[in-house]
Every structure is written in C-alpha cells, then in structure tokens.
Structure 1
C-alpha cells in the first residue's frame, strides 16, 4: 500500500527481439544495450531473458555492470561502451570483457598494461564520426592504428561509432557519419566486427546494419511504432501503485502544496502512493493522468515526495487499495512513457530510467 511497483513483461520482450531479428537477419547480430540497469527494467532478468532468445551480444556503460552480467552469461560477448581505467585491465582479462578505446592515449595505456602482463587484450575501437563524445576522430584513425599496432598488446577485434542524429526524412547528417565510418573502416583489420546503427538507424536504414545493430529503446518498446519502419515493438514495462485515501470535497477546495489546484465542483480526491522520490516527475503536477478502474483521472495539485492527488470524479466508485496504473494499460486506456515524456518535455529514456531502482520489479511472461 505504501509503495508503487513495476511489472516487466518478459514475454513482450521476447516478441520484440523476434520482431527485430526477423527484420535484420540473416546477418547482423542484435547487440542489446542494457546500460542504466537495462533502462530501469532490471539488468540481470532482462539480459537472462534476452539470452534465452539467443541474443549473444550485450553492451553496458560501466565495467561493474559487465562483471555482473558475466556471472549469468558465461558465453556472451560483453562490451563496455564507457571509459575503462587501464588499471582495471586484470578484471577485463578475468571476465573476458571487451573495452572500447576512447582515444589514442587510452589505447596506448591499455596496451602498456597488457604488455606488462605479457598478454594481448581484445578491444573495440570507438570512432567519433560526428557525435563529439568518446572516440578517435574519424580522420585520425589511420595514424592511431599505426601507433597502436606498433605498441603491441592489443587486438582490435571490433570498430564502432555512434550516430548523433537520425532523421529518416532528412538523413543527410547520418549519411555523412556513415560515410566517415566507411572511410575509417579501411584502416582497421578487415575481420573486425563492425557496428554503427542505433535503434532508430536500424529501424529505417538496413544499409548501415554491418555486423551488428545496437538495439536499446526499441527492445524496451519505444521508438518502433511507425508502420513505415522495418519492425514494430511494444512497451514491456508497467508502473503501478494503489489508492491510499479517498475523500469527498466541495467546490473551491484547494489541493496540494500552495493550493495550485482548486476544485470547480463537488468531487472526490484520491491520494495515491507515488511521488517524485519514486521517480514520478514533478512536471506532471496538474498535467498528468493516471488510470483507475480503466478510466483516465487527472493528477491535481503538485506532485509531492511520496504522494500524488487525483480527481476521480464525484460519482466514481474508487476505494482504498484500488490499483492505479501510472504507466501501462487498464482496459481500453493506456498511458506510456512516451506520453509522460511529452508532458515533461523530455524523452522516454529519462522517464524509464528515473523510476527508483529500489521499487520492486515483478517479472511476468505474457
């Protein structure tokens, strides 16, 4: 009663994986992006379910996540897309984890640590083709590879880049990045595993699939609802809570901190167990909806730390303990993270990853 919870539909995740695989195969591997605790869905259960669907590649942002994955996925290819301190190289060898080289200095430092152990470390080379973040500049790859090869201690088994912008109706920027990536690929071993496409790129541009497509938000069910795309996916996460109080109030009744909402007619106000401490965005104050009994009900008053207040209407048969859906479906109505993100002027990624990780996750197969 005092806490919201999250339900993750692993059955829908499996359907999403199959939908993408049917579109991109034969050929490219699905590289499942499970950083940020699998976008707030729970790293280990999500990765385990994907592995059961024969997903063999996973990528994370930080080394500790990759180590946790290795414990349950002994045969998977695990790639860390963030910076790894060269002093942690023993963990890479022990856990068979692939780092990326973020720049020449980073690569030479990894090479030095590998040589000091008389070992050779498998790595992927990150190329900056226009994102402006991590990676060797695309037109510096030839020189960087020459110095890395001379240094020894490294085996460049893969090469990757990251799109800054993918617009299917105006692909000029993404096309430029793809062309730069192709030029840079000529400087790496021909056997290197090549991956460029993000979720959005894979949805519209099969020519950029290469050896693997990095799939993040699509697999969690967002960004792939366009019938013009190569595949369709559906959300796998629902966020629910319960009503903890219902009170009848007169017209002119102020609700919440500073009374930012005042009732216009006699109605019932339900207090619901969720707040910004749980990740329910404060921007939803007086703007969001929830689902109770299959009906949309408006969030009224400010979102507070642990509770929100909802106008359920004067005649609603709402009672303490009723389930409230914050994200998900009830009957014919649905509210998804994409809707909340528009209200909050953000993106579904932030809505999903902001859900407090301490909330209970329930994993279901449907």
Structure 2
C-alpha cells in the first residue's frame, strides 16, 4: 500500500491511473482535499477497484493523516498535494502558503512519527517522495544553461516561493531526522485530465468554443514541456531506485515558446477538427497584458535521472501534444463536467 496525496488533481490522478494499470500493482490510499481543481471524475474507472481507497481530507489535518498511516501502514508517501496555479497565487497567496508550506510540514511530521515506530525492515523500505516544480529555480535568459539540481533557488512568484519552502522542509527532515526522502522537480506537465486554467487545455477548449486564445505579453516565454505519462514513469523510477536525500530534475527535453505551443495546437486542430468557416484557429490568438513577475524561461537538465536511474521521456513534444489534443476531442463528458461545474456534485452528495 502507498499513500498518495493530491490524487484527484491532474498529475496525481494520472499517476494513480498509471500505477493501478499495472497488473498486481499495490493499492493506493488517495487523500485529497478536493479543491476546485480536484476532480474525481478523472478516477471514474476505479469506482469498483478495491485497490483504490479515496479519503476526502487535508494534508494539514494531523489527526486524519496520523490515522491513515496507522490504519493502512503504507510503505511510501507520494506528495502531489499543492496549490499550483501562478495566477491564483498572485491574487491570493495565503492559501498557497497554507497548503504548500504548512501542509507539507504537517505531512512530514506525521510521516516522521510513523516511520520512527516501524520495525527495522519496514523503516528500510519506507520512502517519502515529494513532488515539486522547476519554478523554484527562478528564470533563465535565452543563453543560460538549463537548471540542474545544483542551481540556486530563486523563486519569483508566491506559488514558486511556497514550493521552494516545502522543498527546504523536506531536505531538512532528511538531514536533521533521517527521514528517507526523495524530491523531484518537474517541468511544465501537459496531457489528459488537465484542469482548463493552464495554457494547453485552455487553448484547446477556447479554440473549440470559438473564444480568444489569450497569450501573455509577446508569447516568447519559454518552458520545457513534459508529457504527464512520462512524469508518472519517472516518479516510479525515483521511488524505486532514487538515492535517499537526493533531488532529481524531471524534464521532457522540449523547450518551446508559449506562442509556438499555441500555434502547434491550432495546426493540429485545423487538421483534426477544422473550423466551420474554413479559417485557421490561429486567427483566434489574442495578446493580453503580461502577468506580474512572469519568468522568461525555464529549462530542465534531466541528465542526472537518466545517468543514475536510466529514465528518459518516451514522448517528444510533437507526439505528446497530438495525443493530448486527441484526448480532449474524444472526452467531451469529462470536459463538460468541468466546464459546467457538475464534477463537484460528488462532493455535495457525499458530504452535504
């Protein structure tokens, strides 16, 4: 059994589906607060799967986390739980500090207490895997080398600052208390089940609904893009073989400017779902005022995880983005539930 936090979110949900798709996979306890981006519809296929136990709750709830650890005796904790949208962190940073910093602190404290009471064999097996972001490293110029694990932390948004704080706590609990931790810092994920406030799903759905495709500033902000399925496979490798106390950067080796990403999506949609008027979706592109503190470039050097663990992404950006667009074209039920808000009905039915 493993405990996954934030397992109804984008990356966490994909990880659970990926993990349980393997024959004989260990069971998962899925602890999720079900904030606006938590969507149990992502996990519909697991409704009758006894290997998936969903628990509605907060990683900041010490009593609940302690009970789950005591009752289920997981051999690992994988912490996906986080507030993650930069724009929202600018408007309301308090929630990001609460979840990303204080929530991680509570999870670490509960894990330390649980781990310290295990027998020697179980102690040896136990892992605390903290999932973080490349945004903690700050911004790069066009000619700077990509982020390595030794790059200094220089967060520029409330979101990235809160994630940097959580990373430092995880490191400290390893060096001070010996808690067996590993940390992964990933680049921008994309793929199925992505909540449509992030660039790629927003552009796909806006295009299909004849809405503007908003581009911040000049659209030349560069990101390294990582297909979520590749991220899931990397987490499995790090959990299984990563060295304790180490950080591993997980990237897709796919640096793209935002404008180029949007144009690529438009080109695929032009092919797979042409506009009724015969024009290209690129005509819907609209440039909007840049957001405050917008980092110019992120780039991940994922050499360490390849060198030490033999992991490398299977998808190129071209193959991954095509799969992503095709998924959104083929999964209107999930999309309609998100856009209408009906995906939250489950919570109301269960807890009202």
TM-score (norm 2): 0.33
Task: Answer with 1 or 2: which has the greater Rg.
Answer: 1
- Structure 1 or 2: more strand by fraction: 1
